[in-house]
Amino acid sequence: MEIKILGTGCAKCKALDKVTREVVEEMKLDATVTKVEDIMEIMTFGVMTTPALVVDGKVVLKGRVPNANEVKQLLTK
């Protein structure tokens, strides 16, 4: 599983990165988590509001920070 956190480095982006990494570790998922801060790369996903969560190339959440349970649901779909 490939997970990308899209965000330019704001507090919400950092919070999404933190909660996502915690969930991946807790669930022992075989996943690569990367942080994308380049605005041009973020725009290639069609995202205009950050933070955003991308799982295997598909944007599954944008514009807010979910709680851990919601991240678990998004990663197990």
Pairwise CA distance, residues 47 & 26, whole Å: 28
Pairing relationship of beta strands 2-6 and 58-62 according to DSSP bridges: unpaired
Alpha helices in 1-77 (DSSP H): 11-27, 39-43, 68-75
Catalytic, 67? Answer no
Catalytic residue among 3, 5, 6, 13: 13
Catalytic residue among 2, 8, 9, 10: 10
Catalytic, 13? Answer yes
The residues annotated with a catalytic role in the active site are 10, 13
